Structure formats: C-alpha cells, structure tokens
Amino acid sequence: MTIEEQLAIAAFISKLKEKRTLLNKKEITKFKKATCVKLAIQLSLKGLLMGGTKKASTN
C-alpha cells in the first residue's frame, strides 16, 4: 500500500468519524475498489508515458 493510499484511507475514515457515522463495510469496499481502479489507471498511464511498456511498478 502506498503512502498516497494510506493518506486517502485515513482522510476517508476521519471524514466519516467527523460525521459520526459508523464505518459501513460496503462503503469501505467501494472506496477501496475506487482507489484500486484509480491507481491502476495511474500506473497504466505511467506505463504509456514511460515508453509504452506494460510493466508498471506495483509498490
């Protein structure tokens, strides 16, 4: 998990806590999936920019 992911999840959880809502497993799963999709898109774009190779760093 990258630092950006950890920060995003921390911000998400603190936002939920501010609203005093309980952590909903469906919401967390949805959020994680959205983050994964966003990261996958970023990695694929990086791959295209780095010369079109399909190898993108996963850390």
pLDDT value of residue 45: 73
Q: Are 43 and 53 contacting, i.e. CB atoms less than 8 angstroms apart? A: no
User: What is the pTM for the complete model shown?
Assistant: 0.35
Q: What are the tens digits of pLDDT across the range 9-57?
A: 888 777 766 665 555 677 777 777 888 778 777 777 777 666 654 454 5
pLDDT of 12: 79
pLDDT value at 58 more than 70: no
pLDDT given at position 46:
74
Show me where the domains of the chain are located.
3-49
Please report the pLDDT score of residue 10 as a whole number: 82
